[in-house]
Amino acid sequence: MTTSRRDFVQLSILAGGAAGLGLANPATAGTADVGTASKKLKILVLGGTGLIGPPMVSYAVARGHEVTLFNRGKTNTELFPDLEKLKGDRNDDITALEAQVAAGRRWDVVVDNTASIPRWVTESAGLLAKAADYYLYTSSISAYADSSTPNADETAPVGQISAEDEAKVLTTKDITGENYGPLKARCEEEARKAFTDQHTCVVRPGLIVGPGDYSDRFTYWPVRIDKGGEVMAPGNPTDPVQFVDARDLGEWYIRLVEAGTTGHFNGVGPRSPMSIAGMLYGIRATVDNDISFTWVDADFLEEHEVQPWRHMTVWVPPVGEYAGFSTSNIDRAVEAGLTFRPLADTAVATMEYWNSLDEERREKPKAGCPAELEEKVLKAWHSKNEE
């Protein structure tokens, strides 16, 4: 039952938690009083309607920038009715972009939120290098070769994939837990090749949470804590966790492009190290109910088929190949202007988003521990400790 790094990434992909895979996000960020940018930019967003897209685009518009969206027109189509929208598919139809470039169209900035296959970046960035000055690519913390080193920074080695194996990835259906990270690393390489290091910014987010998170990964905890009662908590209370609110990430993207920032950045948080206990008790502070936490150690959870990340979400035991998981160094990102709203803000907004979903959707969460499994394991844990 031990979860490998490959399995962990696959779980994220299946749950819809991987950045850039077209996740739904009807929520938009609050953008009141954000100020006007000193220079108005023409920004082309590849994607823009899923996960970090809505808060990012909302913030860009509020700052006075001119935004154009290029996507398939299938996700949250009601968003941004006043913006220019070019319809196409990174996998097999970028003719709308080609026509714009052929006509002499130019943008100051391209923000790529969708590419998970290197060929997409090769084609799109290669084309747009003639029509833009700067490229921000959304990669992933999974691009790193492993998660075994605590406090690893952006200089850590990334995963590798052979040209033969890369050629087998024709659509997102061919992406697996084993090849996802190396593919994102190759996408980074293609972005830099097209725009050069002097005009490319690469952000490697980890778990992206908050309103609009379609994976239900973080959402499980505010929802479960809101129900109250005895809550099964995983592992050692000091085990580290990392995540970033989609609104913080999206707004930071716009600050990066305004400054013309280049290089690689770990786009995770919070600012100060957080433990699983800190996260759970922080969420607990946003509700008023009868609740208690029972901490169950990792070995017992594994013995009873409770999986980290899938059932006990956000958390992975920091041992072995995961010894550095959720401890990525974020000094460079903070120095480049990444800020973090309070955990309480994220938790409350997440619950509001969850409660806005229809009942059928809420009855089928994509991640988290089923109530019957939690009850069964807690009963076994208490029996064990009473012996």
pLDDT for 51 equals 86
pTM for the predicted model, two decimal places: 0.92
Contacts of 368 (CB under 8 A, 6+ apart): 216, 219, 220, 223, 224, 311, 313
pLDDT for 248 equals 98
Selection from 317, 296, 316, 321 nearest residue 385 by Cα = 296
User: In the predicted model, what is the mean pLDDT of the chain?
Assistant: 93
Distance CA 27, CA 187 (A): 28
CA separation, residue 163 to residues 148, 158, 179, 186, 195 (Å) = 26, 16, 12, 10, 22
Are 205 and 141 in contact by the 8 Å Cβ rule? The answer is: yes
Cβ burial, residue 193 (10 Å; 0-12/13-18/19+): middle
Are 31 and 59 in contact by the 8 Å Cβ rule? The answer is: yes
pLDDT tens-digit profile of 336-380? 999 999 999 999 999 999 999 999 999 999 999 999 999 999 999
pLDDT for 386 equals 84
DSSP string over 196-227 = -GGGEEEEEE--EESTT-SS-TTTHHHHHHHH
Which regions in the chain score pLDDT beneath 50? 1, 17-30
Residue 237, preceding bond cis, omega within 30 degrees? no
Distance CA 340, CA 22 (A): 24
pLDDT for 75 equals 86
Selection from 100, 57, 75 nearest residue 251 by Cα = 57
Domains, in order of start, for the chain: 5-381 (3.40.50.720)
Alpha helices by DSSP H, listed for 1-149, are 5-15, 53-62, 95-102, 118-128
DSSP string over 371-387 = HHHHHHHHHHHHHHHH-
